[in-house]
Amino acid sequence: MYKCVPILPSRRQEKTVYNEIDHKTRGKNTVNHFLKKPATMLALLSMVALSLTACGSDNKDNNAQPSASVSPSASASGSAPAEETKAPEPGSIKLKFYAQYSGVEMPVYDAAKEAMKTIMPEVDVEFEVAAQDDEQKIKTYAAAGSLPDIFFASSGLIETLKKSDNLYVMDDVVKELNIESLLNESSKPMLWNKDGHSYSVPNVGQWAGVFYYNKDLFAEHNVKVPTNYDELLEAVKAFKAKDITPLALFAKEKWPGVLMLDMAVVGSAEPGGLKRLDNGEGDFSEEVYLKGAQKIAELIQAGLLSKNAFNTTADDAAAQFKSGKAAMLLNGAWSMAAQYENLGDKLDIMYNPLADADKADQVQWSMSGGGFNQGFAVSKNSKNVEAAAKYAALFSIEFAKQRVIQLADPNSILVEKVVPTNGLNPVQQKYADDSVNFKSMTTFAWGYENAKYKTSIEDNTQKLFAGQKPEDYIKDMSKALENARK
Amino acid sequence: MNSKRSYNIALLVFTLPTLLFFTVIVVYPILQTFQKSFFDWDGLSTPSFIGFDNYVRLLDDDDFWVSLKNGLIFALVLVVYQIGLGTLLAIALSTKSLRGRKFFRTSYFVPVVLSGVVVSQLWIAIYNADGGLINSLFHLFGIQYEQAWLSGEHTSIWAIAFSGAWHHLGIQLVLIYTAIKSIPEQLYEAATIDGAPFWKMHWKITIPLLSETYKFCLVIAITGGLNAFQNMFVMTNGGPGNISYTLTFMMYKAAFRSGEYGYGSAAAAVLVLECLIFTILINKFIAREKISY
């Protein structure tokens, strides 16, 4: 049986075919009709897009001149005179603020921003979270000519942007607002660059690097808390024998190793540490640097670090320390609040257990860490550069105050006595009491101004911690330093 | 003549947008990189011409030789693991008697869809010296060979390369499998009739007929290995020191950490030339003659 298949189209099909043929032969009107629709849609979409663009303008062109009161909220003597001006429209000046607006510091930024609304109400800032990327993003912004109005700048970044004329010189603003009078003596040097100008206003004090240690773990295993290098070596051996990691070092980041080496050098009575090499003084052929490298190598040999140290992040190291798997943790003093929260009264700090036994008293208050010119800087190409400069300067002061209030920062840069909301924990109190004795500071790795030196010392020091011989380390660093100084 | 001319015009019209896009996105930046490699430049200030100084400095830089060696090791691991194992798996998956072929095909491709960061974190946990999977297995079987896989001078680059090879095995597998499926069945039937054993059949038929595919796979694997960056950035940050550097990482360090964009451009230029040389060599010596049966 065969199935009949219609040869001719059905009436309906005929009609459809006829209609198609009709359209093809007649062509234009129908085609135009169909074409008009996409064109109409396109025209409509363009109109909508244009109108949205107009609505979304940021009113930068409509900004009033920045003339608001500039008196800071601090009530210390010598505060800048307040200027009465006609009331500007609140939030009429929009500024982009690139900063470490994350983690524990978020409430500090928010509180400072709120406080600034009463001082400079015409300014509204939008925070952009700084990437943790060796400052690549901010440098890319600078290269593209689109630096945020205000941004956090380390010493190295200041040098780079200064050289490429991207930084606004804040001398006039600093003088006009009398910022220096608001800072305590140890913080005043942080306001000025070595060339005599001010490019940023400091927002946080000079933190030292410290060894956090678990008092209970030392007592439990009958290990003496070290006060010098020899005792530290003994402690390392003792903990290693008991299968406890002596030091939780987050060596995946490069700066903790550099800090520890710096402590080893400072502990041999060279208060300039590794920083003086960055300043152009001395070189690695000096005995003190070889000795520092030898101390580190000996400690590594004795089992200072866990096998996984080079894949350990800061969070991993803190977790090891908290859980009692590690007896000590090396970090900046800014971490006191977090570590006390983890360990409570088991926590204590020591400043430099790598000091030579015969020099321990002499170097007791020569600190590693801190000591760098950094803070909130302003882009020279900001459309509201004067307002941004004033805002940055005053925000820095507010930020420093809120750090004390919100985070119980024991390291205030301000003359004004600010009381933390929750008081200081015992460790913070100890640091605050001791900090008046600090005689000198070196710097953390990110404070080195010579980028080539910074990169090479970070990489090569990691190799030293991975087991490189001290003599090879000195040879590599000598070559790297020579190259960095060209 | 007119139709040939209009054909050529049509060809040009259809390829021109892509060519323009490619030129702007790829060719122009490469030319700029070469140009900047002759300058001392911090990325922001005005560059100053220094001729071949950056290249001379490269030759004297320990980082460069370590990076070169690591790039070649990475490429070698990718070639052996992805193409070698990929071929074996593709042959197995093309065998009709294997059960669960669809499941295996999907499974081998799953790592490809994972992000590089996820894969790197996974392998960091596996390689963990203080209780990762590998060391735990050694411990379990009483083998005293626990290593600091990612921080050992002789193990780091191999460990990182292996994780990279594992990640993208699926892509090479799919390419080789597809090529195998395009081989006419009659060839295998004829070989079977002639009494050829399984492996000989594939050695004499499949492998030679895959030569064009291998050419492409080799280019991907070798250039991918030489260009490796993401794995070492996430897993070791190039360290400890420079033991897991590749030329891409060296370029990153020079440009973004040291602020030496000219020097970083020189490293990038060497990398481009290296990839180009390998591509030319592969095209010249692999699949020189088209094989057909």
Question: Which tens digit of pLDDT belongs to each residue from A188-218?
Answer: 888 988 889 999 999 988 889 999 999 999 9
Residues 6+ apart with CB under 8 A from A50: none
Given a contact cutoff of 8 angstroms between Cβ atoms, the answer to whether A243 and A352 are in contact is no
Which pLDDT value is given to residue B279?
95
Mean pLDDT, rounded, of chain A? 83
Q: Tell me how close the Cα of A289 comes to any Cα of chain B, in angstroms.
A: 18
pLDDT digits (tens, 9 = 90+) for B38-91: 999 988 888 999 999 999 999 999 999 999 999 999 999 999 999 999 999 999
Token output for A277: 């090499």
Longest pairwise C-alpha distance within chain B = 79
State residue A87's pLDDT score. 62
Q: Which two tokens stand for residue A109?
A: 């930024």
The residue with greater pLDDT, A388 or A103, is A388
Reported as a single tens digit per residue, the pLDDT across A17-28 is 344 444 444 444
Q: Please tell me which residue, B273 or A68, carries the higher pLDDT value.
A: B273
- Contact yes or no for A139 and B43 at CB 8 A: yes
Query: A196: which 2 tokens?
Result: 């005599």
E strands within A370-422?
Answer: 375-378
- Which of B45, B151, B256 has the CB atom closest to A311's CB atom? B151
CA dihedral B147, B152, B157, B159 (to 10 degrees): 10
CATH 1.10.260.40 is right for the domain spanning B62-285: no
Using CB atoms within 10 A of its CB, is residue A383 exposed (0-12), middle (13-18) or buried (19+)? middle
For the domain bounded by A209-370+442-484, which CATH number is listed?
Answer: 3.40.190.10
* Residue A446: per-residue pLDDT: 85
A2 contact partners, CB below 8 Å, separation of at least 6: none
Give me the mean pLDDT over the A126-146 stretch.
Answer: 89
Query: If you classify domain A85-198+372-426 with CATH, what class do you get?
Result: alpha beta
Domain ranges for chain A: 85-198+372-426, 209-370+442-484
For residue B45, give how far its alpha carbon lies from the nearest alpha carbon of chain A (Å).
Answer: 5
A278 pLDDT more than 50:
yes
Predicted confidence at residue A136, as pLDDT, reads: 85
Q: In 3-state terms, what secondary structure has residue A95?
A: strand
| Residue A142 to residue B44, Cβ atoms within 8 A | yes
d(CA A98, CA A249): 29
pLDDT recorded at residue A184: 84
Query: In chain A, which residues touch B (CB < 8 A)?
Result: 133-134, 136, 139, 142-143, 160-161, 163-164, 166, 251-254, 306-311, 451-452, 454-455, 459-460, 462-463, 465-466, 468, 476
Whole-angstrom distance, CA of residue A439 vs CA of residue A139: 34
Distance in angstroms (rounded) separating the CA atoms of residues A394 and A396: 5
Mean pLDDT of B141-162: 91
Which residues from A are below 8 Å from B130, CB to CB? 306-308
A160, A308, A462 ranked by CB distance to B129: nearest: A308
| pLDDT cut 90: percent of chain A above it | 61
Domains A85-198+372-426 and A209-370+442-484 share a fold: yes
Most confident stretch, A11-25, A122-136, A235-249, A421-435:
A235-249
Do residues A209 and A259 touch, judged by C-beta distance below 8 A? yes
Q: Do A310 and B235 touch (CB under 8 A)?
A: no
Mean pLDDT of A440-447: 89
Q: How many CA atoms lie within 13 A of B100 on its CB side?
A: 4
Q: Say whether pLDDT at A77 is over 50.
A: no
pLDDT score recorded for residue A45: 54
Average pLDDT over residues A136-149: 91
Residue range A77-99: average pLDDT? 68
CA angle B170, B172, B178 (to 5 degrees): 100
Give the pLDDT score at B180. 93
Assess contact for A246 and A236: CB atoms under 8 A. Answer: yes
Distance from C-alpha of A137 to C-alpha of A130, rounded to nearest angstrom: 8
Q: Catalogue the E-assigned strands of A215-325.
A: 245-248
What is the rounded CA–CA span in Å between residue A409 and residue B147?
42
